[in-house]
Amino acid sequence: MDKNYFSTILLSLTLAFSHASLATSISNFNDWGINTSDLSSSHSGVHSIEEDQHSNYLNPGYGGQEYDAEAIYTTWDNDYLYVGIMTGRLQNPTTGWAPGDIAFDLGSDNSYEFGLVTSSAAGSNASTAGIGNPGEFYIVSEWNYGVWDENGNHVGVNSPLVDINHPTSVKTGALSGSAANFTYSALKENGTWLSYGNWSDDKHYFISAKIDLDLFLETGDTLEGGFSIHWAANCNNDWLLLDVPAQPTTVSEPVSLSLMSLGLLGLGLHRRIQKRK
């Protein structure tokens, strides 16, 4: 038996368990392994997109850092999808635009069938606040879309010209359940703001949630077919879209454990044969 053959088996098993072993350990911001300089995750099992900027509609006069959509992170195991959002917007503002909800698009066809509510605040623009309470998960019938058209022109709330490619908050829908471990926290330590990204003076907030995969079954789609996660504040001054490609079919836990046992048994036999030689 070829030693390389067993190395291949062990590598495949390691990759198969990479999502599960990481995801089951995520319970707060620190578990995502986020690098302070570029906001990327140091964990190989995390899919992410990062864009820390001070440009376009984030300049002073357009809200600046407060409306920055900085990063989206996701991973999963056999039971849950884990999602993290980094932004400059606080959860419950009394003025300005409220933070948007997290939109999920199974199949990545721009349908955005599901939404996770992040805030019940209306800010200064109650008509765009959407429905629900933080942590609630909805099958979405209709989204709010901010105040800009596809070319970046200001068209106002509920305009027929608004850019519908970037959902902001759940406008109507059916409550399907709630995420576990939902948090929306300021990134502080002992009262001092932690420094992340390119600008050390920026204030950062992190949204984190653990979503039961059964909540995604209503449409008949699965994560294995590929999916997208979108986030923006309710004004849509800045947005981020994370596309996760189609994945191999998840191996059930009993089967995967059997495969691991078989691989280790084979490796043991290989070593015994080598010793006899």
Residue 9 has a pLDDT of 41
Residue 249 in this model has a pLDDT that exceeds 70? no
Residue 55 has a pLDDT of 63
Q: Name the band, by pLDDT with cuts 50, 70 and 90, for residue 137.
A: very high
Residue 203 has a pLDDT of 86
Express each pLDDT in 164-201 by its tens digit.
999 999 999 999 999 988 999 998 888 888 888 777 77
Residue 85 in this model has a pLDDT that exceeds 50? yes
Residue, of 97 and 6, whose pLDDT is higher: 97
Express each pLDDT in 24-78 by its tens digit.
568 778 889 888 878 888 788 899 998 877 666 665 557 778 888 889 999 998 8
Residue 17 has a pLDDT of 44
How much is the average pLDDT of 130-145? 94
Residue 261 in this model has a pLDDT that exceeds 70? no
Residue 18 has a pLDDT of 47
Residue 66 has a pLDDT of 84
Residue 8 has a pLDDT of 42
How much is the average pLDDT of 2-24? 48
Residue 115 has a pLDDT of 97
HEC string for the chain: CCHHHHHHHHHHHHHHHHHHHHHCCCCCHHHHCECCCCCCECCCCCEEEECCCCCHHHCCCCCHHHHCEEEEEEEECCCEEEEEEEECCCCCCCCCCCCCCEEEEECCCCCCCEEECCCCCCCCCHHHCCCCCCCEEEEEEEECCCCECCCCCECCCCCCCCCCCCCCCEEEEEEEEECEEEEEEECEECCEECCCCCCCCCCCEEEEEEEEHHHHHHHCCCHHHCEEEEEECCCCCCEEEEEECCCCCCCCHHHHHHHHHHHHHHHHHHHHHHHHC
Residue 25 has a pLDDT of 66
Residue 52 has a pLDDT of 72
Q: Name the band, by pLDDT with cuts 50, 70 and 90, for residue 266.
A: very low
Residue 229 in this model has a pLDDT that exceeds 50? yes
Residue 241 in this model has a pLDDT that exceeds 90? yes
Residue 234 in this model has a pLDDT that exceeds 80? yes
